[in-house]
Amino acid sequence: MTEFLNNLFFIFQRLSWSSVIDIALVTLIFFGLLYSLRNTQAMALLRGMILIVVLIVLVLSLVDLPAFSWLARNSLPALLIAIPVIFAPEIRRTLERIGRAGTLWPASTKSDNPNLEETIHAVVSAAARLSARQHGALIVMQRLDTLEEYAQTGVQLNARVTPELLLQIFYPNTPLHDGAVLTVGSQVMAAACVMPLSAHGILKRSPDRQMGLRHRAALGISEASDAIAVVVSEETGAISVAHAGRILRRLDPERLENILLAFFRPGNKPRSYQLVERIFPGLVKQREE
């Protein structure tokens, strides 16, 4: 015990401010990496890789195996090259989040539209009526990140957002019902758009593992951008909202309207803002309700 304390004291004696900053930076890098990979398939791969490395180190420290030791040493460079390939989607998503770091809060730049409340009311009204009829729907509302590349996959409309238009688009078996509607301000930019599907770990842990393609697409576009996705389930008629890889399900029209108002007009802090703060704390550090 005395020797351990002496060694610890020796280490603290050699610490300097530059050493503390150095250790803190390395810690922050690893924390950011692990935080960005949480609840993803990449985390399982990372755990497996760490376990393999630990086992190899233990075997080499206990038994003298020259051939195996040579193989392990020469495999390390190949492993370092393979890591960016294996984790390419997560690395891309992390870089996109860093690129959006300065634009997470000023959502009011997109909400200067004088018809904002009318647009949100139209979306909420359409979602409520679609829910009552159990007509599936996916409405993606653009905020700061442009959705132009996804709009190109659908049919350009450039029409004013109205409940009647959304009801007609998502009426079963119509040409535009299969896909997502993209809205920008008070305009429906495009319909029948193809969204990226999510492979998020939340889908595996959720008791509602039977999430259909609409919910997976809503999570996918919310992971790839800062957009808000409103989903109406075709099976149950339940209304959900997805943002930043998190989804809140079984909303009534009033809660849906409060959430949308809080996202697009955070400067007004009525109970709608407090509601979103509970669901998506800080609009940045989200948690699943």
* The pLDDT value given to residue 272: 44
> 97 Cβ partners below 8 Å, 6+ apart?
36
Q: Are 126 and 161 in contact (CB under 8 A)?
A: no
Mean pLDDT over 43-63 rounds to 78
Q: Are 209 and 184 in contact (CB under 8 A)?
A: no
Report the SS3 class of residue 159.
Answer: strand
Q: Phi and psi of 157, rounded to 5°? A: -120, -50
Q: Across all residues in the chain, what is the average pLDDT?
A: 78
Identify each DSSP E strand in 123-278 by its residue range. 137-141, 155-160, 180-184, 187-193, 228-232, 239-243, 246-251
Percentage of the chain surpassing pLDDT 70? Answer: 73
Mean pLDDT over 236-244 rounds to 90
Domain boundaries, the chain: 2-103, 107-283
Please report which confidence band the pLDDT of residue 71 belongs to, taking 50, 70 and 90 as the band edges. Answer: confident
Q: Give yes or no for residue 41 having a pLDDT over 70.
A: no
pTM for this prediction: 0.62
The dihedral over CA atoms of 180, 185, 189, 193, expressed in degrees to the nearest 10, equals: -20
For the segment 146-198, what is each residue's pLDDT rounded down to a tens digit?
888 899 999 999 999 999 999 999 999 898 988 999 999 889 999 999 998 88
Report the SS3 class of residue 94.
Answer: helix
Q: Would you state the structure tokens that stand for residue 120, as one six-digit string?
A: 């949100």
Q: What is the CATH number of domain 107-283?
A: 3.40.1700.10
Q: Give yes or no for residue 286 having a pLDDT over 60.
A: no
Give the span between the Cα atoms of 101 and 152, in whole angstroms.
Answer: 26
**Which range scores top for mean pLDDT: 46-50, 68-72, 201-205, 214-218?**
214-218
* The pLDDT value given to residue 56: 82
* The pLDDT value given to residue 231: 95
Q: Are 236 and 116 in contact (CB under 8 A)?
A: no
Give the span between the Cα atoms of 268 and 213, in whole angstroms.
Answer: 34
Q: Would you state the structure tokens that stand for residue 95, as one six-digit string?
A: 């870089």
For the segment 94-150, what is each residue's pLDDT rounded down to a tens digit?
666 666 554 434 444 344 566 788 999 999 999 999 999 999 999 999 988 788 889
